[in-house]
Structure 1
Amino acid sequence: MAIDEESMLDEIRRICSAFPSVTERPSHGAPTWFIRDKKSFVMLWADGHHHNVFPHLWCAAPPGAQQELMAANPQVYFRPPYVGHRGWIGVRLDQDVDWAEVAEACEEAYRATAPKRLLAELGNRPATG
């Protein structure tokens, strides 16, 4: 189902703020979530960005995930500009959004970016979705 911009931000905020040592602040004009206020792992482009004129996220991803996700579901996943060459994945939010899948992408982004101590703190707890 379609979701308004404020509800979208609230949902992404709920997902990302559940991880240890996460802060949020604007970066490049977009709400961005950071680990220990240093390394970004998720950016929300609620109004789109450049030629991607639809709401979407940019998420850090483990090696190989970008190609795998884009091949499995090209209607949802894409290679974002600027960070795509580093393996980040774009996640479209303009269709019927599977929020459990979005939460999983955000958690994978966190896990791909967080230091070992925070990963240990995160542990094997239930998914954020």
Structure 2
Amino acid sequence: MTAPGDVPPELLDRLRAICRELPESYEEPAWVGVRWRIRKRTFAHVFTVDAGHRMARARAAGTDEPTCVVTFRAPLDEVHALVAGGHPFFKADWGADVLSLVLDEGVDWAEVGELLTESYCLLAPKKLAAQLTGPVGRP
């Protein structure tokens, strides 16, 4: 397990602002980076990939530079559509419904909020998911 130090603090702050708004979600260190969970299910995981470590993910992200990514869950049709669109999305190397997003300077934080909210709703008990009236960060 590593400390969250492999993820830039400004990215962690943006993700925390989204995830803390989701009922009963919590943050914890992961084997690398940081993850957010609902009950015992991970709905978001952020970490840095680089060419020297986690090579398959670095290739999938299309980089040979250290790059921060967030993985999350999405409906299969959405996974296929987003991956087909290319950067900043790519298919994670586990789970058919798991997708990765490169968190670079062009990231759309409203979209990140929508995607992580959807990931949370896929894994959360229906009672908790029903408490959300719209994507986090939107009125």
The residue identity in structure 2 corresponding to 1:48 is V
TM-score when scaled to structure 2?
Answer: 0.78
Q: Map Cα deviations across residues 24-79 of structure 1 (whole Å, 9 max, x no partner).
A: 0012222000002x11000001x2261224111001112321101112x3011100
Task: Report how far residue 113 of structure 1 moved.
Answer: 1.1
TM-score when scaled to structure 1?
Answer: 0.84
Cα distance change, pair 126–104 in 1 and its aligned pair in 2 (3 A):
closer
Distance in 2, Cα, partners of 1:126 & 1:59:
15
Task: Report how far residue 126 of structure 1 moved.
Answer: 5.1
Q: Whose radius of gyration is greater, 1 or 2?
A: 2
Alignment gaps of 5+ in structure 1: none
Partner of 1:75: 87
Q: Provide the identity percentage.
A: 30
Partner of 2:23: 20
Distance in 2, Cα, partners of 1:126 & 1:58:
18
State whether residues 32 and 43 of structure 1, in contact with CA within 8 Å, keep that contact through their aligned partners in structure 2.
yes
Alignment map for 1:112-127 (pairs within 5 Å)? 112-122=122-132, 124-125=133-134, 127=136
The residue identity in structure 2 corresponding to 1:106 is L
SS in 2 for 1:15: helix
Q: 1:109 aligns with which of 101, 110, 119?
A: 119
SS in 2 for 1:64: helix
Distance in 2, Cα, partners of 1:54 & 1:22:
25
The alignment's C-alpha RMSD in Å is 1.8
Distance in 2, Cα, partners of 1:44 & 1:26:
10
Alignment gaps of 5+ in structure 2: 1-6, 59-65
